[in-house]
C-alpha cells in the first residue's frame, strides 16, 4: 500500500461550481491532478471553457441561483461523465455587497443570498439526489469562509457563510446513512487577482473607522503564516476532503486560513 493511493481519485467524477476564476479553478485543477474526471461550471462561460480545456474537463454554463438549471446541469454531469461522486459548491460572491448595514439594499441582500445560500442548497439537493439513487456514496464540499465565524465583509456575506456552514452540518447528519460525507472548507484571505500576491502590509488600507474593515485590515497585516493564501492551498484541502484520506470525516468546518482564526 502507498499513501498516494489514499488521494487517488481515479474513477471518480467531480463537479466544481464557480470554476471560471479564482479558487474554483485551483480546486478543479487539484481534483483533476488527483485523477478525477471534472465538470466545471460558471456564469463566466469564457473562464470555465479555459479551465475545462486546461484540465481536459467538461465545461458547463450554470447560474447556481437558477434552480431548474442546477437540476439540469447536475444531471448532465452524471450523464456525460458516467456518475457524480464529488460536488464542490465553490461559486460565491462578496465584492460589492459589504458596507454599513443601513446602506445594504434589499436587492443586495437577496442577490447575494440567492447565489451563496440558495445556490448551495439547490446544488446539494440535486447532487445528493443523484448520489442516493446511484447508491455509491459521495462527497459534498461547501466552500464557506472564515467570515462564517469571524465577521469581516458585512452582514450579508458573513451571514450567508454561517448559513452554508450549518447547512453543511445538517446535511452531514442526514446523508451519513448514504455514505455521503458533507464538509465545509473555509478559506482565509486568498489572492485571486492577477499576478503575484503583494506582501501583507502593502494591502492594509488606512484605518477607516469602520470596525469590520479595520478588523480585516489588522488581521491581514498580522496573518500568522505571513502571506496571502494561494488558491491551490484550497485545492489541496479539497482533494483531502474528496479523497479516502477523509473517509471518517463528515460535518466539519475546515479553516485553511494561514492562522486567521487564531488571531
Ligand atoms: N478569495 C478569498 O479570499 C476567499 C476567502 C474566503 C472564502 N472565499 C469563497 O471562495 C469562493 C470562491 O471565491 P473566489 O475568491 O475564488 O471568487 P472569484 O470571484 O475569483 O470567483 C468566483 C467565481 O464564481 C462565479 N460566480 C459568481 N456568481 C455565480 C453564479 N450565480 N453561478 C455560478 N457561478 C457564479 C464567478 O463568475 C467566478 O468565476 C466563494 O464562495 C468565496 O466566498 C474566498
Residue 127 has pLDDT above 90, yes or no: yes
pLDDT at residue 98, rounded to an integer = 87
Q: Which of 112-126, 133-147, 161-175, 198-212 has the lowest mean pLDDT?
A: 198-212
Residue 206 has pLDDT above 80, yes or no: no
**DSSP three-state, residue 65:** coil
Any idea which fold 3-190+230-256 has?
Rossmann fold (3.40.50)
- Closest-CA residue, ligand 1 atom 25, reads 18
Q: Is the CB of 92 under 6 A from ligand 1?
A: yes
pLDDT (mean) for 239-249: 98
Atom of ligand 1 nearest to the CA of 234: 10
Residues 91 and 69 sit within 8 Å (Cβ to Cβ): no
Summary mean pLDDT of the chain: 96
To the question of pTM greater than 0.85 for the whole model, the response is yes
Q: Which of 127-136, 208-217, 221-230 has the lowest mean pLDDT?
A: 208-217
pLDDT (mean) for 153-178: 98
Residue 122, judged by CB atoms within 10 A of its CB (0-12, 13-18, 19+), counts as: buried
Residue 204 has pLDDT above 80, yes or no: no
Q: Is the CB of 67 under 6 A from ligand 1?
A: no
Give the domain ranges of the chain.
Answer: 3-190+230-256, 199-228
Active site residue 157: yes
Q: Is the CB of 129 under 6 A from ligand 1?
A: no
pLDDT at residue 210, rounded to an integer = 87
- Reference 119, options 137, 143, 95; nearest CA is 143
Torsion of CA 245, 249, 254, 259, to 10 degrees: -60
Q: Using the mean position of ligand 1's atoms as its centre, give its distance from the Cα of residue 245 in Å.
A: 26
Q: Is the CB of 189 under 6 A from ligand 1?
A: yes
Amino acid at each position: 500500500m502507498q499513501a498516494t493511493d489514499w488521494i487517488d481519485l481515479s474513477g471518480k467524477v467531480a463537479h466544481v461550481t464557480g470554476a471560471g476564476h479564482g479558487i474554483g479553478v485551483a480546486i478543479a485543477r487539484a481534483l483533476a491532478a488527483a485523477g478525477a474526471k471534472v465538470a466545471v461550471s460558471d456564469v463566466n462561460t469564457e473562464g470555465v471553457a479555459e479551465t475545462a480545456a486546461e484540465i481536459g474537463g467538461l465545461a458547463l454554463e450554470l447560474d447556481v441561483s437558477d434552480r431548474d438549471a442546477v437540476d439540469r446541469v447536475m444531471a448532465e454531469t452524471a450523464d456525460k461523465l458516467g456518475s457524480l461522486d464529488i460536488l464542490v459548491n465553490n461559486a460565491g460572491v462578496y465584492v460589492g455587497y459589504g458596507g454599513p448595514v443601513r446602506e445594504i439594499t434589499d436587492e443586495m441582500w437577496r442577490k447575494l443570498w440567492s447565489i451563496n445560500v440558495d445556490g448551495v442548497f439547490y446544488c446539494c439537493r440535486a447532487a445528493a439526489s443523484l448520489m442516493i439513487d446511484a447508491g455509491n456514496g459521495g462527497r459534498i464540499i461547501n466552500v464557506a469562509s472564515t467570515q462564517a465565524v469571524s465577521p469581516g465583509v458585512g452582514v450579508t456575506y458573513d451571514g450567508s457563510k454561517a448559513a452554508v456552514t450549518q447547512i453543511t452540518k445538517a446535511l452531514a447528519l442526514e446523508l451519513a446513512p448514504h455514505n455521503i460525507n458533507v464538509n465545509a472548507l473555509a478559506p482565509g484571505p486568498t489572492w485571486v487577482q492577477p499576478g503575484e500576491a503583494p506582501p501583507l502590509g502593502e494591502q492594509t488600507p488606512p484605518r477607516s473607522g469602520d470596525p469590520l474593515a479595520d478588523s480585516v485590515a489588522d488581521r491581514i497585516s498580522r496573518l500568522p503564516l505571513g502571506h496571502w493564501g494561494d488558491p491551490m492551498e484550497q485545492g489541496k484541502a479539497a482533494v483531502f476532503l474528496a479523497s479516502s484520506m477523509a473517509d471518517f470525516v463528515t460535518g466539519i468546518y475546515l479553516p485553511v486560513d494561514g492562522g486567521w482564526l487564531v488571531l
